[in-house]
Amino acid sequence: MAAPMTQSVAGRPLLLCALALGCAGGAPPGEALSGDAGQPDSLAPPATDAPTGDAGQVDDLEPGRGIPPAADRQDPAGDPRLEGGTEAIDPPDPDVGLEPDPEADPEADPDPDPDPDPDPEPDPDPVGPWGFEATGQVERFVAPRGGSYRIEVWGAQGGMARCANDNLVQGGPGGEAGGVIELDFGTVLFIRVGTQGVTDGAGGFNGGGDGGVHGAGGGGASDVRTGDDLFSRLVVGGGGGGSYCNHVITHGGGGGGLTGDDGEQNGPFWPGRGGQQGEGGGAGSFGRGGVEGRGGGAQLDDQVGGGGGWYGGGSALISAGGGGSSYNEGMQGNRTTNNSVQLGDGHVRLTFISD
């Protein structure tokens, strides 16, 4: 058996033949060494004119090409993949067998911003106005900044009476009150928006007095409070009185102003009186007087309710109800009141003025 033949290239041994059968010795580099019939030729690198440095020396080989170091070479006779001779084995393709990610976004930025702005410019402080409509529930307002605010409230209209021919008679319009107040940041206010009185039925939310068939309930007041009780009210818009219709038409009194309007009189039947700053409106014929925060009324035929307010309007039988009074003494300046200005449900509005 011929001994393997080696030659030195740049100081490293070169394996030229390691076959066990009939290896032709002494073949020059670049020529294939033939074995017995049936054995494939070993793959020797083709002769090339390699660039040289010093005489007899080959320049350093480019990484990834050429002959591997001796430590990385193995005996081809011991590799089962090389049975029957030596063959060149291509390195695996790194892209073979890789499936595309079905969840990958084809439009995703391949080079996203590594340092997005973590603290964008905040929005400027709000200044309103903030409006509150009738919901039949207590709502809250939290002051977003300290400073002066204008608060305006409108009471609800009194209920409309239904006549025998199904025509409806308008109830008294609600009143308005407002003013300016200083609020600290985070101050919580409690807001109630009155609802219109019901035809042939109950008074509106927040103090409207009840009515009955041929009459209507009084309108509810709208107010802003610092707490839950009547004594914490800062500003109040009075509700209008309910109307009456049974062969004769009478309209409810409007909400205040500092004083609510009286209802229209029906012949000898006295109407309900408007609420005052210190007391409720007087009762009309067979009616009930208003009290603090609520109009008089009862769910009886031909009964008409008074409007809610600082003090409620009086109710009446077979005549119209009185309007509730408004209030603005909780405001610190620019106080206003207006009688009979609001139709339908009430309304509340807050507006920031200055720091």
pLDDT at 291: 97
pLDDT at 309: 98
Cis peptide before 129 (omega within 30 of 0): yes
Biggest CA–CA distance in the chain, Å, is 145
Query: Do 268 and 148 sit in the same domain of this protein?
Result: yes
pLDDT at 54: 46
d(CA 252, CA 170): 8
d(CA 185, CA 226): 14
d(CA 189, CA 17): 99
175 within 8 A of 328, measured Cβ to Cβ: no
Query: Do 143 and 70 sit in the same domain of this protein?
Result: no
**Residue 15 structural domain:** 1-81
Query: Do 196 and 328 sit in the same domain of this protein?
Result: yes
Query: Do 345 and 245 sit in the same domain of this protein?
Result: yes
Query: Do 223 and 353 sit in the same domain of this protein?
Result: yes
257 within 8 A of 175, measured Cβ to Cβ: yes
**Domain contains 92:** no
Query: Do 70 and 149 sit in the same domain of this protein?
Result: no
pLDDT at 101: 60
d(CA 151, CA 323): 22
d(CA 221, CA 193): 7
pLDDT at 319: 96
- Among residues 269, 231, 235, 238, which one has the least CA distance to residue 253? 238
User: Where do the DSSP E strands lie in the chain?
Assistant: 6-9, 12-15, 130-132, 139-142, 147-154, 161-162, 168-169, 174-183, 188-192, 222-225, 233-237, 244-245, 249-250, 303-304, 316-317, 333-342, 347-354
Q: Which residues pair with 149 in a beta bridge?
A: 181, 352
Amino acid (one-letter) located at 262? D
**Domain contains 310:** yes
**Domain contains 105:** no
CB-facing half-sphere around the CA of 157: CA atoms within 13 A: 16
pLDDT at 112: 53
Query: Do 136 and 55 sit in the same domain of this protein?
Result: no
Helix, strand, or coil here: 292? strand
Query: Do 23 and 172 sit in the same domain of this protein?
Result: no
Query: Do 246 and 153 sit in the same domain of this protein?
Result: yes
Q: Which residues pair with 140 in a beta bridge?
A: 190
49-87 burial, b for 16+ CB within 10 Å, e for fewer? eeeeeeeeebeeeeeeeeeeeeeeeeebeeeeeeeeebe
Looking at 46, 81, 116, the residue that finishes a domain is 81
d(CA 38, CA 54): 42
**Domain contains 107:** no
Looking at 25, 58, 81, the residue that finishes a domain is 81
- Per DSSP, helices labelled H in the chain are none
pLDDT at 3: 47
**Domain contains 91:** no
Query: Do 20 and 135 sit in the same domain of this protein?
Result: no
**Domain contains 90:** no
215 within 8 A of 244, measured Cβ to Cβ: yes
User: What parts of the chain have a pLDDT lower than 70?
Assistant: 1-125
Task: Find how far residue 338's CA is from the centre of its chain.
Answer: 37
156 within 8 A of 220, measured Cβ to Cβ: yes
**Domain contains 113:** no
**Domain contains 275:** yes
Instruction: Let me know how long the chain is.
Output: 355
Domains contained in the chain, number:
2
Query: Do 324 and 175 sit in the same domain of this protein?
Result: yes
pLDDT at 1: 44
pLDDT at 103: 61
Query: Do 191 and 334 sit in the same domain of this protein?
Result: yes
Looking at 18, 52, 81, the residue that finishes a domain is 81
